[in-house]
């Protein structure tokens, strides 16, 4: 009885929103074995169910909620899960991950995956409980902010332990970067999947479950788990872990400014003189009141802050991450930390991505400075750098798509198009997604990461901290001593194709298992051997004990996601960087003069990925080797495969 492999709930939900029906289905054995979970299984489902004819905000798009075998399994950290679909912001592959407690709860409630199809005629929320699923009326929740929605659902079921994933007004109103908020503070932030949820008239997903999860061989799994945890506690990582526990990701503000790649003034430069005002020390000393952790996590990078008095005072709230401090801080030349807390919190409550919101506002501020837009365009708002009042108003206006907010609710790519003139020169995005808090002019490999990333200018698919923060032992072990010197040079493009390809493969598994980037990206503790160690005893998939099988699976997932984008028209031409990051040398700071050598890195990357260098498309042999013949046939039918 039940699903063959353990560690999985064994069922997935196929929800027909048009008809208001939920279909409980058995998990597919092949999905688990070949694609593991999370991003891997999503890529298979999305490939099968959506394509060039799908419009992201039409009922044809699907929204997938996905967990992985490690979700809720006591692996540290095991609280992660993800969403995927086609992005309304970029029109291509979208995935967005979150920590917190929803993912495990969804599995304990009996489901590994949820696929939302169609569009409900009325606002609904999906309620999962002990193997059952039900669509429930959400009319009275529509329009509410995310925390109120969570409260209402818990109240409705008289169950304070229900875990939720909800959207806010931004996602309902069609802001292209609407996000999904998990419990109160965690966000599946990027690529606008909250807006996809909104377009389906789904306000929230709630889960409560007592079904639990089994392991294939519990004793062996716990032992493997302990071995992995022992790695985290190795003294090699002591200072990194101590920093994460004390500062969380806010530490990055200081660390990154030091190397000159903290996006400042809409990415004009990478050095912010006032970085101390928005950095780790002031937060830790003045505002931080508690440490928190996601489910089963021994790292504990989350924190709770409180602004006790003044205009921005509020009760305990989950703290902003590095990216939010960057987006609303250095990026907008805003050193008022309390306003950043406020802006970040408002974005969480309204349900929109802080990176895209902050970056789009920074973009508008630069257009204002350059005189490309003026008061007439903004409806009287003064968009001078660091004008906190204007930023606060804009965040509300974006969420409701009022006035000038309507334009900015579309993100920088579309806003630049609508504004015309030279506006495009200041739109810092790749494939439509605003750049996160990195800069390739100070850190070469970031350029490659941004350019090849399946969801746009985003760091979470292959960002390398190896050369950035210097982990010599790791570089030597992974790539060999002879490459150490070049790899460890943050400003050298040499061997970066190899590093980024390797890390992209690794993160594909991290995103499928599903675990956190802390412990994998920084500090770089877990590697491929982690998966060979823990997956077989947990799941019973003995194949996952074979390092080659694991590597192949990682590559398979990467290629399938890439192919999904190819089918939508992405080739080497789009795998590039915005003008500012490619052509304008870094003007100030420690990285002054820096520019990425993107073509050099791309060539190496395509070669190692098994892609054609001219087009970036996959080679037939590569797809065959990965068992992706169906991808080959589809692309070939569309005239997108050459015979190499």
DSSP classification of residue 269: B
Q: Is 217 in the site for other proteins (CB under 8 A)?
A: no
Among 58, 291, 552, 588, binds other proteins (CB under 8 A): 291
Among 52, 315, 371, 420, binds other proteins (CB under 8 A): 315
Distance CA 341, CA 318 (A): 9
DSSP classification of residue 617: P
Among 293, 469, 474, 494, binds other proteins (CB under 8 A): 293
The beta strand positions in 282-363, using DSSP E, are 288-292, 302-307, 314-318
Binding-site residue total for other proteins (CB under 8 A)? 43
Q: Is 160 in the site for other proteins (CB under 8 A)?
A: yes
> Which residues have CB under 8 Å from 32's CB, separation 6+?
3, 5, 8, 41, 69, 539, 541
Q: Is 287 in the site for other proteins (CB under 8 A)?
A: no
Q: Is 242 in the site for other proteins (CB under 8 A)?
A: no
Sign of CA pseudo-dihedral 627, 631, 633, 636: negative
Q: Is 344 in the site for other proteins (CB under 8 A)?
A: no
List own/partner pairs for 380-386 with CB under 8 A and 24 or more apart: 385/265, 385/332, 385/333, 385/334, 386/332, 386/333, 386/334, 386/335, 386/336
| Whether 326 contacts 262, CB under 8 Å | yes
Among 23, 121, 286, 316, binds other proteins (CB under 8 A): 316
**Choices 136-144, 295-303, 423-431, 476-484; region in contact with other proteins by CB under 8 A:** 295-303
Give the x-and-dash track for 170-199 against other proteins (CB under 8 A): -------------xxx--------------
Question: How far apart are CB 296 and other proteins at their closest, in Å?
Answer: 5
Question: How far apart are CB 209 and other proteins at their closest, in Å?
Answer: 7
Query: Which residues within the stretch 76-135 sit at the binding site for other proteins (CB under 8 A)?
Result: 76, 101, 104, 108
Q: How many CB atoms lie within 10 A of CB 349?
A: 21
Distance CA 95, CA 38 (A): 9
Q: Report, in angstroms and rounded to the nearest whole number, the Rg of the chain calculated over CA atoms.
A: 23
**Choices 28-36, 300-308, 513-521, 551-559; region in contact with other proteins by CB under 8 A:** 300-308
Question: How far apart are CB 72 and other proteins at their closest, in Å?
Answer: 6
Closest CA to 446 of 555, 582, 349: 582
Q: Is 342 in the site for other proteins (CB under 8 A)?
A: no
Pick left, alpha or beta for residue 150 (phi over 0 → left; psi -120 to 50 → alpha; otherwise beta): alpha
Q: Is 599 in the site for other proteins (CB under 8 A)?
A: no
CB nearer other proteins, residue 292 or residue 402: 292
Among 54, 67, 73, 173, binds other proteins (CB under 8 A): 73
CB nearer other proteins, residue 27 or residue 213: 213
Q: Is 237 in the site for other proteins (CB under 8 A)?
A: no
CB nearer other proteins, residue 47 or residue 295: 295
How many alpha carbons fall within 13 Å on the CB side of residue 524? Answer: 24
| Whether 443 contacts 580, CB under 8 Å | no
Give the binding site for other proteins (CB under 8 A). 72-74, 76, 101, 104, 108, 147, 160-161, 183-185, 209-215, 218-219, 222-223, 226, 229, 289-298, 300, 302, 304, 306, 315-316, 318
């Amino acid at each position: 009885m039940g699903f063959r492999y353990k560690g999985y709930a064994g069922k997935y939900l196929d929800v027909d929103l048009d008809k208001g029906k939920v279909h409980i289905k058995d998990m597919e054995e092949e999905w688990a074995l070949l694609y593991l979970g999370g991003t891997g299984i999503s890529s298979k489902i999305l490939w099968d169910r959506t394509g060039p004819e799908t419009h992201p905000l039409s009922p044809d798009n699907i929204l997938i909620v996905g967990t992985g075998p490690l979700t809720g399994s006591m692996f540290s950290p095991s609280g992660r899960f993800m969403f995927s679909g086609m992005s309304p912001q970029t029109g291509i592959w979208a995935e967005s991950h979150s920590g917190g407690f929803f993912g495990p709860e969804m599995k304990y409630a009996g489901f590994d995956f949820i696929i939302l199809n169609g569009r409900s005629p009325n606002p609904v929320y999906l309620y999962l409980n002990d193997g059952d699923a039900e669509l429930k009326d959400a009319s009275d929740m529509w329009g509410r902010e995310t925390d109120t929605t969570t409260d209402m659902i818990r109240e409705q079921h008289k169950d304070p332990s229900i875990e939720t994933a909800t959207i806010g007004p931004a996602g309902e109103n069609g802001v292209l970067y609407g996000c999904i908020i998990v419990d109160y503070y965690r966000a599946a932030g990027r690529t606008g999947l909250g807006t996809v949820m909104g377009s389906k008239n789904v306000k929230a997903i709630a889960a409560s479950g007592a079904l639990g999860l089994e392991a294939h061989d519990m004793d062996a799994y716990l032992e493997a788990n302990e071995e992995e945890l022992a790695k985290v506690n190795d003294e090699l990582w002591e200072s990194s872990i101590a920093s994460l526990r004390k500062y969380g990701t806010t530490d990055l503000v200081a660390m990154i400014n030091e190397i000159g790649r903290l996006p400042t003034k809409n990415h004009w430069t990478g050095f912010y003189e006032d970085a101390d005002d928005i950095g780790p020390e002031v937060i830790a000393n003045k505002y931080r009141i508690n440490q928190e952790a996601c489910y089963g996590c021994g790292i504990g990078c989350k924190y709770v802050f409180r602004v006790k008095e003044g205009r921005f005072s509020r009760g305990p709230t989950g703290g902003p991450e590095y990216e939010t401090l960057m987006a609303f801080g250095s990026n907008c030349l805003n050193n008022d930390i309390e306003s950043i807390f406020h802006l970040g919190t408002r974005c969480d409550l309204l349900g929109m991505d802080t990176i895209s919101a902050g970056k789009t506002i920074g973009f508008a501020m630069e257009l204002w400075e350059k005189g490309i837009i003026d008061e007439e365009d903004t409806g009287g708002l003064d968009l001078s750098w660091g004008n906190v009042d204007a930023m606060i108003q804009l965040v509300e206006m974006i969420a409701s798509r009022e006035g000038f907010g309507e334009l900015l609710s579309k993100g920088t790519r579309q806003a630049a198009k609508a504004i015309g003139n030279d506006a495009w020169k200041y739109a810092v995005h790749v494939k439509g997604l605003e750049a996160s808090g990195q800069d390739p002019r100070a850190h070469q490999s970031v350029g490659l990461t941004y350019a090849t990333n399946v969801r746009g200018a985003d760091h979470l698919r292959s960002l390398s901290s190896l050369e950035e923060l210097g982990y010599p032992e790791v570089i030597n072990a992974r790539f060999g001593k002879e490459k150490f010197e070049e790899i460890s040079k943050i400003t050298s493009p040499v061997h970066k194709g190899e590093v980024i390809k390797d890390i992209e493969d690794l993160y594909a598994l991290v995103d499928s298992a599903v675990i956190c980037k802390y412990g994998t990206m920084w500090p770089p503790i877990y590697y491929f051997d982690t998966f060979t160690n823990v997956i077989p005893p947990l799941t019973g998939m003995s194949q996952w004990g074979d390092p080659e099988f694991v590597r192949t699976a990682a590559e398979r997932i990467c290629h399938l996601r890439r192919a999904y984008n190819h089918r939508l028209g992405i080739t080497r031409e789009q795998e590039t960087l915005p003008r500012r990051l490619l052509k304008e040398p870094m003007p100030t700071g420690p990285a002054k003069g820096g520019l990425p050598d993107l073509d050099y890195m791309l060539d190496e990357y395509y070669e190692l990925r098994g892609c054609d260098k001219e087009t970036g498309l996959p080679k037939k042999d590569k797809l065959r080797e990965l068992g992706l013949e169906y991808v080959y046939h589809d692309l070939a039918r569309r005239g997108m495969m050459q015979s190499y």
